[in-house]
Structure 1
Amino acid sequence: MQIQLIFNESLDSVAATDVSHYVIEPSLNIVSAAISDSDLTIVELTISTAIDSNVVYTIIATGISDCSGNVATTSDSIQFALPSPAISGEILLNEILFNPKFDGYDYVEIYNNSDKVFDLKDWQLANADEYDSLTSLNTIIEDQYLFFPEQYLVLTENATAIKQQYYAANPDWFIEMNLPSLNDDEGTIIILNTAGERIDQLHYSESWQFPLIDEPDGVALERISFDAPTQDALNWHSAASTVGYGTPSYENSQHVEPLAQNEISIEPKVFSPDQDGYNDVVAINYQFSQPGFIGNVKIFNSRGTQIRDLVHNALLPSSGTFIWDGITDANDRAPIGIYIILTEIFDLSGSVKHYKHVCVVGEKKR
């Protein structure tokens, strides 16, 4: 098997073809190294050991010199793996900026929610019309691009502009492409693999933004949980003000990990919906032995008055999360105080269970 390494300048052929300058971890036996192009920029390594499709490897190159004899003083490394086909749920839409500032650009962030490596060559982003038919199919990248487990990837028409406006923890995790249309009020964005299969799809709305944000321009919508459905409006929230209203290329400011130990649990017990990125929401986590239950979630204040009908007759999978962001049905922020979260779970046989939990809407000291 051969592995091609592409360098950004011409190499000294003697150094480049010396196998002692290359190491692969976990260990693979390198038989030979050869220059495979006239520009002396491509090295082809031949290995005798079979590659495990479930392993991510790292190639480390040391002591390589260019044609002028300049020897690299540091090691260069790059990861590689055998890519796998993706199915729905393994690559997720994770963050979307559809209403940028006047001098800004849209972006879509995707996340590898699996332990597999995928090749995004010839994958596409698309819109859908009112009949859910595909429109505006745009190729993400025409070259091979390995998408690794737990990696974030930002797709935009101007990566430089996004990095100037928002902090980018992983500046290499950007691909510039022609995005499909992202309307400011609502729209649909779809990820398609090379076979044209829909891997994830989201119909977003500007009404999903946190209601108390005065100016939503430039505020990204972030996915809250990888486990909750993409299309669940409660699974999206405005990015926190403390991160500059967007987290392209790293974990979302509003991300929540489900922590259900019993059938129903909440986390945290005290939250402050002030858009600072710390405990802005309360998560109602559920875990059942089987899917097929119907759920309702209502929020009451300390006087017993219902202030939010959060979930109504939702068909539930075996596990998941509901999110309350501290907003009432009147679109106001709930005052500081104690609140009761009443969760009702029932099945078609008439079996009903009620769960009551207490949470507190607090406020940080100034």
Structure 2
Amino acid sequence: MLNSIKIKQKCLLIFSILSILDGYAQTGLVVSELMVHPLSNAVFTNEYIELYNNGTQVIALEDYTLQVANTSIRLGNYYLAPRQYILLVAASAAPHFERYGNVMPIQTWRILNNINGTVSLLNKEQMVVDHVSYSNNWYGNPQKRNGGWSLERINPNLPCNNGNTWRASEAANGGTPAQQNSIWDERYVPTIRLTVQEINDESIVFGVFPSVADVSFGQHSEITVETVDLSIARYELGTESLTLYTSAALTWDTPIAIHFRDIRYCGQSQTVSISLFRSSTSLYNDLVINEVLFNPKVNGVDFVELYNRSNKTINLRGWRIGNRVISTEDLLMEPDDYRVLSSSPQRVQEDYPNAVSENFIAMQSLPAYPNERGIVLLYDQQRLIDSLFYQSSMHQPFLADVKGISLERQSSEEDTNSKGNFSSASTLVGGATPGYRNSTDVEKKVEKNSWWLDRKTFTPSGNGSESILVFNYAFSERNPMLNLTIYDSNGRVVNRLIRNKSAGLAGEVIWDGRNEQGALCPSGIYIYQSEIHTSEGHYQQFKGSFVLINAGK
């Protein structure tokens, strides 16, 4: 579904730039650098304002007025050639700057405010040709805003000045007076950051940074709404925000795509898009804790896996695991999706090669999860959605070492803390299943224990699927431990393939036809014997035979 509205007045919506169509440049006299906060122990101990002629004609500076805050200063008699700079400085500081280039001493220097202020250039008709309303937020560096560094214009050809077009100097001495700026980039095109402040039934309010002042719309500008059956009925533009009013109520838990075409920002025509998501209130256990690794392998890291057991898309923006925020941006999780929270997804994937990498969320850190016992808490904002009290005794009692083995949820329908709902992941799958279905998931439970072979004959010296023997199993007993032994036709042990491993409820075991010494077995009839046992006392044995054909023996 695609609905659109033509733009008839000035407004804005920006998320990501898709294409730059065309643009225009500002030519003439511009402010290109400001040293507003010099330090006595820095290279530059005095303030300066740098002007630049980015045009093709010589400019007579006496035709211009510098305005700092409410103070107007008529510039002196000087002709500034194209692509040249001149420094405006207090008369007493002029000798300190002469070695850098062109300098114009100002007898009545107006001190620049360190935090924020305005600097404007007016022509002889008293029309503003350039205006800079700077802020110490423009530095983009907390240390540099404390002084000793200038603010530099990135692209002096753009007809706008805001927090996207200025930044702290990267020069080693703190500035580039009467020289090309250290961050100079004539190809640079700025973008606007937009945040969704409020989503109501029939309106969306966006906050715009840094400013809407540099935005305009042409007669061909257009808003297009995609993925839902509604359109933009009207809009209102405030000084710092934009409100869109929709033709119908916005849907819940459904991504909405809005495209803007032919937007002019800083003189550049752009096509931009934003995705919105209106989240309904999450209910208890919409999302559940599904797997926890709290005793990782040596040099490994903990992880917590979440599972969306609801029938709706959930936005993890603002959610917390303990006191750690999962995401400050929109992060959608579809029904039946898994997400793994870890401080080092790469390390988890190294320890568990079957991990699904696209389901990981990198965290700066997780809460501390002690090896003996602890609690995992999941919040939607301040609302508790799930909690798990775990302890090491929840692991399989037959496991000699549980390091590197996770606790998996067995049923998403049962209460998180119901007895037996968390148990050891199958060691046959590596001891954890990060990012995919749990090995102990009882939702795939069968009525009775089953054990079977894909084929009764295999050729380990051959190629393809017939070169391995696959033992399949599906168990009705929870938390079974498995043994599997291969015998030759005389009853001699060939390979004790599985020795007291936690199996999970379903899976497979592969044999490549080699004995315990690693040598290929000779052709013949072989017998397998598998057995399962549980901590509740259940024991069952399976036996069968198969034929091994080895062309070499």
Same fold per superposition (TM over 0.5): yes
1:123 aligns with 2:319: yes
Amino acid at match of 1:219: I
For the structure 1 residues 10 and 89, does the alpha-carbon distance in structure 2 shift closer, same or farther, using more than 3 Å as the test? Answer: closer
Query: Which residue is 2:20 aligned to?
Result: 12
For the structure 1 residues 243 and 158, does the alpha-carbon distance in structure 2 shift closer, same or farther, using more than 3 Å as the test? Answer: same
1:336 aligns with 2:534: no
Secondary structure at the aligned position of 2:306 is classed as: strand
Instruction: Tell me the CA shift for residue 229 of structure 1.
Output: 1.4
Partners of 2:345 and 2:357 within 8 A in 1: no
For the structure 1 residues 84 and 211, does the alpha-carbon distance in structure 2 shift closer, same or farther, using more than 3 Å as the test? Answer: same
| Structure 2: gaps (5+ residues) | 6-10, 24-190, 192-216, 235-242, 263-272, 452-469, 479-503, 507-531, 549-553
Secondary structure at the aligned position of 1:257 is classed as: helix
1:178 aligns with 2:377: no
1:263-318 deviation per Cα after TM superposition (whole angstroms, max 9, x unaligned): xxx8231246xxx997564269xxxxxxxxxxxxxxxxxxxxxxxxxxxxxxxxxx
Q: What does 1:43-54 align with in structure 2 at a 5 Å threshold?
A: 48-53=247-252
Q: Distance in 2 between matches of 1:365 and 1:223?
A: 39
1:55-92 deviation per Cα after TM superposition (whole angstroms, max 9, x unaligned): 5236498x99xxxxxxxxxxx997x5310111212111
Partners of 1:253 and 1:277 within 8 A in 2: no
> Which protein shows a greater Rg?
2
* Percent of aligned pairs with the same amino acid: 25
Query: Which residue is 2:155 aligned to?
Result: none
Q: Distance in 2 between matches of 1:5 and 1:277?
A: 56
1:192 aligns with 2:348: no
For the structure 1 residues 242 and 12, does the alpha-carbon distance in structure 2 shift closer, same or farther, using more than 3 Å as the test? Answer: farther
Aligned length: 272
| Partner of residue 277 from structure 2, selected from 77, 81, 84 | 81
Q: Distance in 2 between matches of 1:324 and 1:227?
A: 17
Q: What does 1:232-243 align with in structure 2 at a 5 Å threshold?
A: 232-243=418-429
Query: Which residue is 1:113 aligned to?
Result: 309
For the structure 1 residues 5 and 230, does the alpha-carbon distance in structure 2 shift closer, same or farther, using more than 3 Å as the test? Answer: farther
TM-score by length of 1: 0.56
* Two-structure CA RMSD over aligned residues (Å): 5.0
Q: Distance in 2 between matches of 1:277 and 1:268?
A: 19
1:102 aligns with 2:298: yes
Q: What does 1:128-277 align with in structure 2 at a 5 Å threshold?
A: 137-166=323-352, 167-169=354-356, 171-195=358-382, 197-257=383-443, 267-271=446-450
Q: Distance in 1 between matches of 2:412 and 2:349?
A: 24
Q: Distance in 1 between matches of 2:546 and 2:415?
A: 31
For the structure 1 residues 363 and 254, does the alpha-carbon distance in structure 2 shift closer, same or farther, using more than 3 Å as the test? Answer: farther
Q: Distance in 2 between matches of 1:3 and 1:173?
A: 34
Q: Distance in 1 between matches of 2:472 and 2:286?
A: 27
Q: Distance in 2 between matches of 1:364 and 1:113?
A: 42
Secondary structure at the aligned position of 1:202 is classed as: strand
Partners of 1:138 and 1:178 within 8 A in 2: yes
Instruction: Tell me the CA shift for residue 205 of structure 1.
Output: 2.0
Secondary structure at the aligned position of 1:228 is classed as: coil
Partners of 1:220 and 1:245 within 8 A in 2: yes
Q: Distance in 2 between matches of 1:210 and 1:363?
A: 30
Q: Distance in 2 between matches of 1:227 and 1:329?
A: 23
Q: Distance in 1 between matches of 2:443 and 2:424?
A: 17
For the structure 1 residues 205 and 31, does the alpha-carbon distance in structure 2 shift closer, same or farther, using more than 3 Å as the test? Answer: same
TM-score by length of 2: 0.39
Q: Distance in 2 between matches of 1:4 and 1:178?
A: 34
Secondary structure at the aligned position of 1:200 is classed as: strand
Partners of 1:24 and 1:57 within 8 A in 2: no
For the structure 1 residues 124 and 232, does the alpha-carbon distance in structure 2 shift closer, same or farther, using more than 3 Å as the test? Answer: same
Q: Distance in 2 between matches of 1:194 and 1:277?
A: 47
Secondary structure at the aligned position of 2:539 is classed as: coil
1:165-219 deviation per Cα after TM superposition (whole angstroms, max 9, x unaligned): 3233351542414211111122111112212x32111111222223444432222
Q: Distance in 2 between matches of 1:363 and 1:237?
A: 33
Query: Which residue is 2:486 aligned to?
Result: none
Q: Distance in 1 between matches of 2:392 and 2:314?
A: 31
Amino acid at match of 1:334: Y
